[in-house]
Amino acid sequence: MRRSNLKAHLLRPQFAALAAVLFINWLLFPGFFAITWQDGRFFGSVIDVLNRGAPVAILAIGMTAVIATRGVDLSVGAVMAISGAVAAVMVSDGTPAVVAVAVALSAGLVCGLWNGVLVTYLDIQPIIATLVLMVAGRGLAQLVTEGSIVTFADPLLIYIGTGSLLGLPMPVVIAAVLMLLATLAVRRTALGLLIEAVGVNRSAARFAGISSRLLLLLVYTFAGFCAAISGLIVAGDIRGADANNAGLWMELDAILAVVIGGTSLLGGRFSIPMSVVGALIIQAMNTGILISGFSPQFNLVVKSAVIILILVLQSPMAAQWIARRTTAAERTPR
Amino acid sequence: MTAGDTPVVEARGIVKIFGQHRALDGVDFAVRAGEVHALLGENGAGKSTLIKILTGAYQPDGGEVLLNGAPVRFSDPLQAQGQGIGTVYQEVNLLPNRSVAENLFLGHQPTRFGIVQRKVIAAQARELLATYGLEIDVKAELGSYSVAVQQIVAIARAVELSGKVLVLDEPTASLDRNEVAKLFEVIGRLKARGLAIIFITHFLDQVFAVADRVTILRNGQLIGTRDLSALTATEVVRMMLGKDLAYDQRTLGVAESVQGPVRVEFRGIGRAGRVAPFTLSLHEGEVVGVAGLLGSGRTEMARLMFGVDASDGGEVTVGGRSVTIRNPQQAVAAGFGFCPEDRKLDGIFGELSVRENIIIALQAKLGWFRALNRDEQNEVAGRYAEDLDIRAANHDMPVKLLSGGNQQKVILARWLAIDPSFLILDEPTRGIDVGAHAEIVRTINRLREEGLALLVISSELDEVVAYSNRVVVMRDREMVAELRGEEITPAVIVSAIAENTGAKA
């Protein structure tokens, strides 16, 4: 039973897609899988995919729960900018980095809570409610940095963005730990099931005595928190806060990662690890196009073509086709 | 029926099948010019299906529609409109942010060289509305007027576009008394102009006030078409609910059965505009049936009890202790369960599995951190699925793939899993197959014997009579009667429902 479950998991189209993208990367660039050990950490294209994919993966972790409730959070890119700006300005004013990080993460929580309040208590459609912060958030970040790029040399922030732990880049470690904790939090408690119930039928959830509002507040707040972590990583990576460009359009990559991961925009069933796989697929494509020597102009077109392919593979039509093939295959030996 | 004049629109032997369910089964229906014809029936009787077939929204699976005696086949409502059949729905289907005049002529504005002539439109609109006794600023936004005015504008537009048959689908549901009177005046004028008007409503007094004839449907069958002048309200209710007054005996033994102390008491619970304050106590081991027509406030009463809507005042006590119930969570915490009327909308989680659908209320009650593991879930789901004979290939399949009856049993299982002390069932047997029907009635009786307090809302009077220890009757959003013992017969219930209706205009 368990084994066949594992097999079923590995046969998911997302893994096939990831394998295919990696394989094509290898064809285009034979050194793709080469990993070297240098200065106490791993280097290589695959490590680079993980490292570069981490910010979107972290956003996708938070976005998954939001989308599972039939919502969406467009503001995460802007929240990244806010969090980076807050941390950068505080450390450059001499605040201890630990405090700056704590305040930046709290800013993310507050932003998420704001979205949650708009969605639950004012009953604004999620896409509009979070659009408010998507626009205003970047403005807030610009106010915090007073319009300039605030650079810093604080070792802790830089470590978050570029350091390493056990040979792995820090962003990868953070993303992996967050994925693990978030998955445990939703699957070892009843949260996952209740979130799915709210996403499938909010009215029925109400009649069943589920506290939908509290759950919605929680998922939006968590998405804001994830965005703040992502913002710290991006700021640490470039050793500065760029309110105009930090996290720009990344909310869209995060949504895409969740959708590629198999969570429907109509809410319901979700999987946080699969969303992370979705983020890795996106990053593997980006990296592949960059290192293969194609001109970067191809990037967006190729990316969208691959995405269409993945979505077709996930469609009910394809699932039926595969189901027919497998039952036929199972029958023949008898 | 008077012979002679051909009906403007006629349906003959209409059959409509959804899946395995016959929504309409050989229904005949005819409307003459210059008459207001009421179409009555409880939910699921087939009224809206019949209307959708007459207006081209559905295609019949059998039978034919005739317009002025000639067979027609409409592919969509637009075509029906073009041939003379216009419809006005309860929710006004117009553009509230455009002017009254624009709404009246949208899609067929008078133009000159392709340019819309605003002045001409305004003048024509004023002229048109004057014939309806409506003198308003036609350049103002439609949304700035009351629902009644919007209804009349919608009617004017429908008549302008169609001109032979006007279908009014619950037009009075959101109107107050004066507005209803205004609307009836308009209906009177149109009748005088020779239009055939089909009027759908749940309010019997309005039927008697405005309609000439009535056609009654029940469970997709035609019960009959009669002249209203020859009918009493009681007879109409009886036709709607299918109660033959000769059938008068009740299953004895229920009322006399022993019942325990008061389990739950509602004192002065009500909500302005929804249901007048009522007081009701339920004993352990007692089934209280709720009878009343659709829109009588029976569902609203249940929603207040379960905290889906908050009460304006009053007090709830459970086992003698006062409790606050402002939302369903508090109701569940107090040991209440509620199987809502609209299974699909408020009951099932279609994409989730049978197992998850059964344990969800228990899980919500236990809270976030006391998660049922897979074995516990299987155990709970298995026990109640077996208890209620839920037929599912396995408990991991999505509940949406089950039949309506099995879905209803899943929701019942969900509430039994929290070990409730008070259970509300709103139309538990509507739209489900005979086998599941019997199973649910059996379960109601079994739960009573196990000491539960139950409130069961049902339009099936035979059923209500068979399992209720007491019956309360709702009418016009008010609890009007409480019947006990010998009084619990279909005849008494029917007359309690019908009492006074028709007397007021």
Residues of B in contact with A210 (CB under 8 A): 329, 360, 364
pLDDT attached to residue A177: 96
Nearest Cα neighbor of A47 from A180, A166, A181, A177 is A166
Helix axes A250-260, A298-314, angle to 10 degrees: 30
Question: What is the interface size between A and B, counted as CB pairs within 8 Å?
Answer: 79
The whole-angstrom separation of Cα B101 and Cα B370 is 61
Q: Dump pLDDT digits (tens) for B198-215.
A: 998 877 888 888 899 999
By residue count, chain A amounts to: 334
The whole-angstrom separation of Cα A111 and Cα A225 is 8
For the cut 60, the answer to whether the pLDDT of residue B424 exceeds it is yes
Q: Dump pLDDT digits (tens) for B52-77.
A: 888 888 888 888 888 888 888 888 88
Smallest CA–CA distance from B368 into chain A, residue: A190
The whole-angstrom separation of Cα A296 and Cα B86 is 59
The tokens describing A312, both together, are 């077709």
pLDDT attached to residue A1: 38
pLDDT attached to residue A167: 86
Q: How far is A5 from chain B (nearest CA, A)?
A: 14
Residue A208 contacts B, CB cutoff 8 Å: yes
* Averaged confidence pLDDT in chain B: 83
Band of residue B247 on the pLDDT scale cut at 50, 70, 90: very low
Q: Residue B142 gets which letter from DSSP?
A: G
The whole-angstrom separation of Cα A74 and Cα A44 is 32
Q: Is the Cβ pair B328, A207 closer than 8 Å?
A: yes
Q: Is the Cβ pair A207, B367 closer than 8 Å?
A: no
The tokens describing A269, both together, are 């069933």
Residues of A in contact with B370 (CB under 8 A): 190
Most confident stretch, B14-28, B331-345, B481-495: B331-345
Instruction: Tell the CATH topology of A41-314.
Output: ABC transporter involved in vitamin B12 uptake, BtuC (1.10.3470)
Q: Looking at this predicted complex, what is its ipTM?
A: 0.82
pLDDT attached to residue B425: 93
Q: How far is A193 from chain B (nearest CA, A)?
A: 8
Q: Residue A32 gets which letter from DSSP?
A: G
Q: Characterize A36-57 residue by residue with b for buried, 16 or more Cβ atoms within 10 angstroms of its Cβ, and e for exposed.
A: eeeeebbbbbbbbbbbbbbbbb
Q: Dump pLDDT digits (tens) for B132-181.
A: 878 888 888 888 887 778 888 888 888 888 778 888 888 776 677 777 88
Band of residue B1 on the pLDDT scale cut at 50, 70, 90: very low
Q: How far is A69 from chain B (nearest CA, A)?
A: 13
Q: Dump pLDDT digits (tens) for B275-292.
A: 889 999 999 889 999 988
Q: Tell me the mean pLDDT in the region B378-385.
A: 90
pLDDT attached to residue A328: 62
Band of residue B257 on the pLDDT scale cut at 50, 70, 90: low
Q: Dump pLDDT digits (tens) for B97-118.
A: 888 888 888 777 776 777 777 7
**Higher-pLDDT residue of A16, B91:** A16
**Higher-pLDDT residue of B502, B57:** B57
Contact in structure between B123 and B113 (CB atoms under 8 Å): no
Please state the domain extents for chain A.
Answer: 41-314
Q: Which residue of B303, B308, B339, B352 to mutate against A (max A Cβ within 10 Å)?
A: B352
Q: Dump pLDDT digits (tens) for B445-485.
A: 889 888 899 999 988 787 888 888 899 998 888 888 888 88
For the cut 50, the answer to whether the pLDDT of residue B502 exceeds it is no
pLDDT attached to residue A7: 63
Q: What is the 3-state secondary structure (H, E, C) of B230-299?
A: HCCHHHHHHHHHCCCCCCCCCCCCCCCCCCCCEEEEEEEEEECCCEEEEEEEEECCEEEEEECCCCCCHH
Per-residue model confidence as pLDDT tens for chain A (334 residues): 344 456 666 667 788 888 888 888 888 888 778 788 888 788 888 888 899 999 999 999 999 999 999 999 999 999 999 999 999 999 988 888 899 999 999 999 999 999 999 999 998 999 999 999 999 999 999 999 888 888 888 888 889 888 888 888 999 999 999 999 999 999 999 999 999 999 999 899 999 999 889 999 999 999 999 999 999 999 999 988 888 888 888 998 999 999 888 888 888 889 999 999 999 998 888 888 887 777 777 777 877 887 787 778 767 777 777 777 766 655 554 4
Please state the pTM of the whole predicted model: 0.73
pLDDT attached to residue B405: 81
Determine what percent of chain B is predicted with pLDDT higher than 70.
Answer: 91
Domains, chain B, ordered by start: 9-97+141-231 (3.40.50.300), 245-335+420-505 (3.40.50.300), 344-418 (no CATH)
For the cut 80, the answer to whether the pLDDT of residue B409 exceeds it is yes
Determine what percent of chain B is predicted with pLDDT higher than 90.
Answer: 19
Q: Dump pLDDT digits (tens) for A177-200.
A: 999 999 999 999 999 999 999 999
Give me the DSSP letters along B443-460. Answer: HHHHHHHTT-EEEEE-S-
* Averaged confidence pLDDT in chain A: 86
Residue A265 contacts B, CB cutoff 8 Å: no
Q: Which of A201, A208, A269 sits opposite B364 (nearest CB)?
A: A208
For the cut 50, the answer to whether the pLDDT of residue B245 exceeds it is no
Contact in structure between B88 and B158 (CB atoms under 8 Å): yes
Helices (H) and strands (E) counted in chain A, each on its own, are 15, 6
* A155 CB neighbour count, 10 Å cutoff: 12
Q: Is the Cβ pair A189, B368 closer than 8 Å?
A: yes
Q: Characterize B83-92 residue by residue with b for buried, 16 or more Cβ atoms within 10 angstroms of its Cβ, and e for exposed.
A: bbbbbbbbeb
Q: Tell me the mean pLDDT in the region B221-233.
A: 87
By residue count, chain B amounts to: 505
Residues of B in contact with A268 (CB under 8 A): 351-352
Q: How far is B19 from chain A (nearest CA, A)?
A: 22
pLDDT attached to residue B439: 81
Residue where the block lists tokens 């209740």: A194
For residue B381, give the amino acid letter: A
